[in-house]
Structure 1
Amino acid sequence: MFLKSAEIFALKSGGINPVLLRLTTDSGEVGLGEAAVAYGVGAKASAAMLQELAERFLRGGVDPYRAESVAASIKDFSFWAKGGGPILHAGLSAIEQALIDIKARSLGIPVYELLGGRMRDTLRTYANGWYFGCSSDRELPDAAEKTVADGYSSLKFYPFAEILDGGRLRHPSLRGSDDPDLVKRGVALVAAVREAVGPDVELLLDLSAGLTPFDAIRFCHEIEKYDVAFVEEPTEPDDLNALKLISERVQQPIAVGERLYGRQGFRDLLESRSVAILQPDLGNTGGIWEARKIAAMAEAYGLKVQPHICASSLSTAIGAHFSASIPNFYVQEHFPYWGQVPGYVEVLKDPLEPRVVNGRLPIDAQPGFGVELNDEKIADFLYCRIDLT
């Protein structure tokens, strides 16, 4: 069996821009992957990078079972993968995921079996994106209350992000460092959401590295009474001294990882002992098997792992196999309300999101990732088709 073709899809979908890969073998086996630079900027660049990587490293009768060998070649011979950032690692991630999907499908087993086997039957999730449709902070408490009524007992939000039309966010930056009321407003928003949902709902806060370290410390002190489960990216994720400074002065666990790449990107973070929860993004850190290695490293340091997921429903399905198989899983990120955003395109025929019950995500036992692309919906977004023979 060898790789025969690659198809790359670059979508515009309700505020995000997913980039999907479908590899097909000479025997007709299919593997799916996603380059998860779907938010912010970089989706177009990741589609082009994915094309270049496929043309360079997947041509000439490549055996799809040799995912580790292909990934190693990309890391060794692309040059920029050494210490590289999200664009190259997103392309690498999509290829690695698709190869592993092919192998599992051809063996007739779910991907989680390749990762050590399933350790749980459903996944606890937290709702993100529950603020879609809001136009101001004043609307967030009601939206949070409605989300809890839908069965979610864990919510994440961004106390310093500006809400734009339709619930899109403009994340904070240090340009707010001269605002004496910045911390006060963030505290008031946390208080209002906590009052709306009651004491038993888990609240998770993402600061998106938008505060100075000492503003982050002040904020964390002032929200202690609201029982926040973790604070994400309280400062630049690769500034280990700042992370350690904050972690030694605040009560809340710190979560970091969506903007770190590969095992090497997490190594010094682990040694710093400054975080409690790792958040590798399976679509931009090097792939699902790479993230499994990161989870094993985290386990050695007694840390929890919560995969970062903010892309299409394909990434949700991929993340479910990862989360099902690791012993130190904490909670799965989940966007249950993408379908309410104008222009959203559902890329899968049978996504997991509508099957969530009481905030728990099912784990698909079908071969591979257990999902298929919805060709009817994504056909117009074909970026390129590549002959790999």
Structure 2
Amino acid sequence: MKIKTANIYLIESGGIRPIILELITDDGTVGIGEAGVAYGIGGTAAAGMLKDIIERYMQGGVDPFRSERLWLEIYDHGFWAKGGGAVAFSAMSAIEQAMVDIKGKALGVPVYELLGGRIHDDLRAYANGWYFGATKDADLPAAAEKAAKDGYKALKFYPFVKILPEGRLRHPSFRACSDPDVVRRALYNISEIRRAVGPDVEIMLDLSAGLSLDDTIRFCRRVAEYDITYVEEPAVPGDTGALVKLANSIEQSIAVGERLYTRYDFRDVLESRAVDILQPDIANTGGLMEARRIAAMAETYSLKVQPHICASAVSTAVGMHFSASVPNFYIQEHFPYWARIPGHVDFVEDPIEDTVRNGSIPVNDRPGLGISINQARLAEWRWATFQL
């Protein structure tokens, strides 16, 4: 079996911009992967890196069962992978996911069987994106209450983002957040959200490194009365010293990992003993096997793992297989209302999103990742195709 065709799709549909890779073998088996740079900037760069890797390392067709060998070849000889970031590792993640998907389909087993087997039958999920449609702060309590009524017992919120009139969110920079009104507004919104959902719904806060370190500490102390489950990215990614200071200064659990890449970036964080929850993004940290190694490292430090997912329905499926196989799995990120937005869920056949009930993701036993893509739906977004 050899991979003979590769298609890259760069979806432009408003909001996030998913980058999807499709690999097709000589016997027609299809594997799907996703490069996790769907938000922020860099989507075209990730698609370009996929193109460069395919052209240099996959010509002539590669054996999809040798994904680890290909990963190491790119890491050792591609130069920009060692010490690299989102562009290199999101591309490597997409290729590895698609190859693992092919393996599972060829063997007739779900991907989680290739990661050690299923441990969890249902995955607790928290709702992100529940604030979609809000155009002003006053809309937030009702939106949170609706998500809770839909069965979600945990919600994530970005307390410092600014809601623009068209409903988009703008993340802050701590260089512009010295104004005390920023914190006062955040505290007020959190108090109103807590009032709306009651005491039994967990609230997680993604700080996105939005404040300076001293302001973050003061904020976390003031927000403690609202029973915050954890604070995510409270410091600039990679600043382990700041995490140590935070861990010694606040009572909330600390979660990091969205902007850390491969086991090597996570090593120093683990050795610092400054965090409680690791959040590797399987679509940009190096792929399923790399995320599984990170989870195993976390287990030796008695830490919980919660995969970061902010992309299309492909990444939701990838996350399900990863989470099902991880002993120290904590909770899965989920965007239940993205189905309304074209180009995020609608191009995937049998998406996991359709099966979620009461804030829980049931683990299915379909071969591979258990999904396929609708070629007709994606045709307009094909960015590049290769015959290998």
**TM beyond 0.5:** yes
Instruction: Compute the displacement of 1:177 (Å).
Output: 3.5
SS of 1:178 mapped into structure 2: coil
1:76-91 aligned at under 5 Å gives the runs 76-91=76-91
Instruction: Compute the displacement of 1:384 (Å).
Output: 1.0
Q: How many residue pairs get matched?
A: 388
1:289-300 aligned at under 5 Å gives the runs 289-300=289-300
State the alpha-carbon separation in 2 of the partners of residues 354 and 345 from structure 1: 10
Unaligned runs of 5+ in 2: none
SS of 1:223 mapped into structure 2: helix
- 1:159 corresponds to: 159
State the alpha-carbon separation in 2 of the partners of residues 246 and 181 from structure 1: 22
- 1:203 corresponds to: 203
Change (3 A) 1:344 1:89: closer
| Pair 1:227-2:220 in alignment | no
State the alpha-carbon separation in 1 of the partners of residues 331 and 371 from structure 2: 21
Change (3 A) 1:342 1:66: closer
Amino acid at match of 1:374: N
SS of 2:155 mapped into structure 1: strand
Cα deviation, 1:165-187, whole Å, max 9, x if unaligned, reads 45421111113233022222211
What is the TM-score normalised by the length of structure 1? 0.98
SS of 2:64 mapped into structure 1: coil
- 1:137 corresponds to: 137
1:1-389 aligned at under 5 Å gives the runs 1-341=1-341, 346-388=346-388
Instruction: Compute the displacement of 1:164 (Å).
Output: 2.3
SS of 1:265 mapped into structure 2: helix
Cα deviation, 1:226-273, whole Å, max 9, x if unaligned, reads 111100011102001111101110000000000000110100010011
Instruction: Compute the displacement of 1:283 (Å).
Output: 0.5
- Mapped contact 1:128–1:156 kept (Cα < 8 A): yes
Deviates more, 1:211-220 or 1:335-344: 335-344
Unaligned runs of 5+ in 1: none
State the alpha-carbon separation in 1 of the partners of residues 252 and 169 from structure 2: 24
State the alpha-carbon separation in 2 of the partners of residues 366 and 165 from structure 1: 42
Give the root-mean-square deviation of aligned CA atoms.
1.2
Moved over 3 A (4+): 341-345
Deviates more, 1:5-14 or 1:102-111: 5-14
State the alpha-carbon separation in 2 of the partners of residues 127 and 14 from structure 1: 20
Deviates more, 1:28-37 or 1:175-184: 175-184
Deviates more, 1:164-173 or 1:138-147: 164-173
State the alpha-carbon separation in 1 of the partners of residues 180 and 153 from structure 2: 33
State the alpha-carbon separation in 2 of the partners of residues 288 and 168 from structure 1: 31
- Mapped contact 1:237–1:243 kept (Cα < 8 A): no
- Mapped contact 1:19–1:34 kept (Cα < 8 A): yes
Instruction: Compute the displacement of 1:64 (Å).
Output: 0.9
Change (3 A) 1:342 1:116: closer
- Mapped contact 1:176–1:182 kept (Cα < 8 A): no
- Mapped contact 1:231–1:253 kept (Cα < 8 A): yes
Change (3 A) 1:326 1:53: same
Deviates more, 1:245-254 or 1:12-21: 12-21
- The percentage of counterpart residues that share the same residue type is 57
State the alpha-carbon separation in 1 of the partners of residues 343 and 62 from structure 2: 37
SS of 1:181 mapped into structure 2: helix
Amino acid at match of 2:353: E
State the alpha-carbon separation in 2 of the partners of residues 165 and 56 from structure 1: 45
Change (3 A) 1:127 1:116: same
Instruction: Compute the displacement of 1:342 (Å).
Output: 6.5
Cα deviation, 1:129-176, whole Å, max 9, x if unaligned, reads 010000111110110001111111110010000112454211111132
Change (3 A) 1:280 1:343: closer
Cα deviation, 1:19-38, whole Å, max 9, x if unaligned, reads 00111111111111000100
State the alpha-carbon separation in 1 of the partners of residues 96 and 296 from structure 2: 18
State the alpha-carbon separation in 1 of the partners of residues 380 and 362 from structure 2: 30
Amino acid at match of 2:104: A
State the alpha-carbon separation in 1 of the partners of residues 67 and 188 from structure 2: 49
State the alpha-carbon separation in 2 of the partners of residues 227 and 132 from structure 1: 24
State the alpha-carbon separation in 2 of the partners of residues 22 and 165 from structure 1: 37
Instruction: Compute the displacement of 1:344 (Å).
Output: 5.4
Amino acid at match of 2:63: D
Instruction: Compute the displacement of 1:221 (Å).
Output: 0.5
Instruction: Compute the displacement of 1:383 (Å).
Output: 0.7
State the alpha-carbon separation in 2 of the partners of residues 350 and 26 from structure 1: 24
Change (3 A) 1:34 1:342: closer
What is the TM-score normalised by the length of structure 2? 0.98
Instruction: Compute the displacement of 1:385 (Å).
Output: 0.9
State the alpha-carbon separation in 2 of the partners of residues 158 and 64 from structure 1: 40
- Mapped contact 1:121–1:363 kept (Cα < 8 A): yes
State the alpha-carbon separation in 2 of the partners of residues 193 and 15 from structure 1: 24
SS of 2:65 mapped into structure 1: coil
SS of 1:65 mapped into structure 2: helix
